[in-house]
Structure 1
Amino acid sequence: MPFFAAFLISFLVVLVATPIVNRLGKRVGLVDKPNHRKVHKRPMVRLGGVAMFIGVVVALLIVWSTGGFGVLKPGKESEVWGVAIGGIAFFLIGLADDLFSLSPKTRLLLQFVVAGLAWQSGVQIDFLTNPIAGLVSLPEWASLPITVIWLVGMANAINWIDGLDGLAAGVSGIAAFVMFWTCLFMGQPQAALFAAALAGATFGFLRYNFNPAQIFMGDGGAYFIGFTLAGVGVIGLVKSVTTVAVLLPYVILAVPILDMSAVIVDRLRRGKSPFVADKRHLHHRLLKAGLSQRLAVLFIYSLTLWAGSLAMAVSGMPSGVGYAIAATIVLSVTSWQVWRTAR
């Protein structure tokens, strides 16, 4: 099965590549130094995204060379290439920032350009849904900005939650795994293949990134994961053209979306720039309440799993309701532990 192969190859490549990248990063001094806003206490290599990128690319190339891309539907080639090349470009933007510290305006400008080109290739949000009219078809003048904001926004949302050991990788891995199953159920194997490779890479990276972390993913990894998840959501679910499917990517990725939105609103309300980092994200608030890094991360994992299970349930997937009930129990247990710790 090409999906399992993509997951396993990506997972194993990241397991092997991450220590190599870590050693090289230490040798050349490419580290993220502690400061008043960051949680870590010692310099950490921030190039883990290189290993994840290599894992996904190698997995997809091997699957493609062995005929695994036979799962592609006719007419989907342009969309798939849009996600693939866009992911590479977002990774390079993040890597350049890790190496040379690009300004926020430069990063955003490059991201908007790449996202616009991805839209041109067919990675397009063509429909929205509302409670009254159901699906609403979007004209091109509306589809372009909405798609670009979604792609750029998700890349930055994953980067913004990368504030605790294992947080961004775990949240992304859970989201990618849920997206894999929902894309497969919706009959979108090309998107499912990307999601499977991405899930393998993120779970493999957790071996070295979970608390206490040995390496960080950096902007390169966060931008690559965020854009790819957003792109997979568009070509695999939004284009399924059903009221439920259009909503699924936003439900699956609800945790980073809501965290980013709340922080932006809070900064604007206080008269601050939305691009100036602070310590008002959900994970910062959980630490301030007295939680350990591990408990804060596990609680946010459970939130992500719960949101993903809701997406599986509303999609009509067999046993989806059972998954949602199980995830609700997990969330209840972690919430109780959070309440006990923070009271």
Structure 2
Amino acid sequence: MTLAYSPNAAALLTFAVAALCTALVVPVVRRLGLRWGLVDAPDSRKQHTSPMVRLGGVGIVIAFSAALGLTWALGGFANLPAEKDQLIWTTLAGALCFFLIGLADDLYALPPLPRLAGQLAISMVAWNEGVRIGNIEIPMGWWGGSDLLLPLPDWLSLLATVIWLVGITNAINWLDGLDGLAAGVSGIAAVGLLSVSFSLHQPAAGLLAAALAGSCLGFLRHNFNPARIFMGDGGSYFLGFALAAISIVGPAKGLTSVSLLLPLLILSLPLADMSAVIMGRLSEGHSPFYPDRRHLHHRLLRTGLSHRRTVLLIYAFTQWLGSLALVLVNAELRFLWLALATAVLIWVLVSTRRALQQPAATREL
């Protein structure tokens, strides 16, 4: 059996294996975490009220790696150019290194600055190995001209790449405040990257995205509210870096190109949330790493939304933004219909919440 000439079958197999492996491995990780006392204690900033194992990222990494290993063994990465092959393995190695930083924080509660220094160092190594934003693409087709592709000087390419990799990684990490939120948003983003990678004939990046999406789906089996396990910083760092790196090594490498536009739109909520939180903390004289309850999901909970409805609303907004990105990328009507359907879902989630909050007498009238 070979998958070398069947990219769609390779993606489906990779997705299915990653989802199944994650669903099977995570309960084992949970049992071991409980046995060894590796749990996250509740406090005033957290939503859980009992100790929870926060090593779910171990299961995600094992399943992701197993799915890609099987796909590689069956020839799914056959005929890949040498330079693209290096980018794929650099992405995997970088994601594993980010995972180790997060895992060390889960186990030993590392201070913020050493974590950030490690992230910056790994991102610079990844840039040196070719995972880099190398050009600025200026679209001119709308005005009848040809697109302009301007190469970036090395210092600017390094700066843009490091900000991209570290920024998205920490946006996903900060999003991991409610059951299933980070895994669901990452899964939606990965499916979007899978779609655009295959539409632009970049199957290698698509296979990475398929493994990431499958791992997120399998993890949600145990992490959606009420969660039985958390992914921890190890899991969120792994998902964030993998998502950011795949968007670079996939369809293109320009700052305004398809590969960066899609995750930028999909992750605009967590990125905006991270920016707002940092600015709010700095304005009050606190460190950007000062823990508080300023995040988007905290604000939505304070409006009266339930835990699940808050998560589903952020899912819906993420899917809506992703659908708009796919419309811009592919200009296909089906994605426009998906965006419109998602907008209706958002309206239903918000309007039903308001209806439920009205007094009974008012609703009867």
TM-score, length-scaled by structure 1: 0.95
TM-superposition CA deviations, 1:256-294 (whole Å, max 9, x none) = 211111211221222221111210000000111111100
Equivalent residue number for residue 329 of structure 1: 344
Compared CA separation, residues 46 and 103, structure 1 to 2 (3 A): same
Q: Distance in 2 between matches of 1:271 and 1:189?
A: 47
TM-superposition CA deviations, 1:281-331 (whole Å, max 9, x none) = 000001111111001001000011011101111002532222222222222
Q: What secondary structure is seen at the aligned counterpart in 2 of 1:214?
A: coil
Q: What secondary structure is seen at the aligned counterpart in 2 of 1:67?
A: coil
Are residues 1:251 and 2:265 paired? yes
Compared CA separation, residues 126 and 342, structure 1 to 2 (3 A): farther
Equivalent residue number for residue 23 of structure 1: 31
Equivalent residue number for residue 66 of structure 2: 58
Compared CA separation, residues 234 and 342, structure 1 to 2 (3 A): farther
Q: Percent identity?
A: 49
TM-superposition CA deviations, 1:111-151 (whole Å, max 9, x none) = 11111111111111123456899654321110101101111
Amino acid of the structure 2 residue aligned with 1:185 = S
Q: CA deviation at 1:342?
A: 6.6
Q: Extract unaligned runs of 5+ from structure 1.
A: none
Query: Cα RMSD over matched residues?
Result: 2.0
Question: Between Structure 1 and Structure 2, how many residues are aligned?
Answer: 343
Are residues 1:150 and 2:164 paired? yes
User: Are 1:245 and 1:315, in contact at CA under 8 Å, matched by a contact in 2?
Assistant: no
Are residues 1:304 and 2:318 paired? yes
User: Are 2:251 and 2:258, in contact at CA under 8 Å, matched by a contact in 1?
Assistant: no
TM-superposition CA deviations, 1:194-241 (whole Å, max 9, x none) = 110010011111011000000000011000000000001111134278
Are residues 1:105 and 2:119 paired? no
Equivalent residue number for residue 224 of structure 2: 210
Q: CA deviation at 1:103?
A: 1.0
Amino acid of the structure 2 residue aligned with 1:254 = S
Amino acid of the structure 2 residue aligned with 1:137 = P
Compared CA separation, residues 126 and 245, structure 1 to 2 (3 A): same
2:175 pairs with one of 148, 157, 161: 161
Amino acid of the structure 2 residue aligned with 1:272 = H
User: Are 1:127 and 1:238, in contact at CA under 8 Å, matched by a contact in 2?
Assistant: no
Q: Distance in 1 between matches of 2:64 and 2:280?
A: 35
- Is 145-154 or 63-72 further displaced after alignment? 63-72
Compared CA separation, residues 52 and 23, structure 1 to 2 (3 A): same
User: Are 2:248 and 2:259, in contact at CA under 8 Å, matched by a contact in 1?
Assistant: no
User: Are 1:50 and 1:221, in contact at CA under 8 Å, matched by a contact in 2?
Assistant: yes
Q: Extract unaligned runs of 5+ from structure 2.
A: 1-8, 141-146, 359-365
Equivalent residue number for residue 89 of structure 1: 97
User: Are 2:134 and 2:254, in contact at CA under 8 Å, matched by a contact in 1?
Assistant: no
Compared CA separation, residues 242 and 217, structure 1 to 2 (3 A): closer
Q: CA deviation at 1:339?
A: 4.2
Amino acid of the structure 2 residue aligned with 1:11 = A
User: Are 2:197 and 2:203, in contact at CA under 8 Å, matched by a contact in 1?
Assistant: yes
Q: CA deviation at 1:246?
A: 4.1
Compared CA separation, residues 314 and 94, structure 1 to 2 (3 A): same
Q: Distance in 2 between matches of 1:332 and 1:187?
A: 35
TM-score, length-scaled by structure 2: 0.89
User: Are 1:79 and 1:122, in contact at CA under 8 Å, matched by a contact in 2?
Assistant: yes
Q: Distance in 1 between matches of 2:16 and 2:206?
A: 14
Q: Distance in 2 between matches of 1:128 and 1:75?
A: 21
Q: What secondary structure is seen at the aligned counterpart in 1 of 2:319?
A: helix
Q: Distance in 2 between matches of 1:278 and 1:312?
A: 35
User: Are 2:137 and 2:256, in contact at CA under 8 Å, matched by a contact in 1?
Assistant: no
User: Are 2:134 and 2:157, in contact at CA under 8 Å, matched by a contact in 1?
Assistant: yes
Compared CA separation, residues 182 and 240, structure 1 to 2 (3 A): farther
Q: Larger C-alpha radius of gyration, 1 or 2?
A: 2
User: Are 1:134 and 1:243, in contact at CA under 8 Å, matched by a contact in 2?
Assistant: no
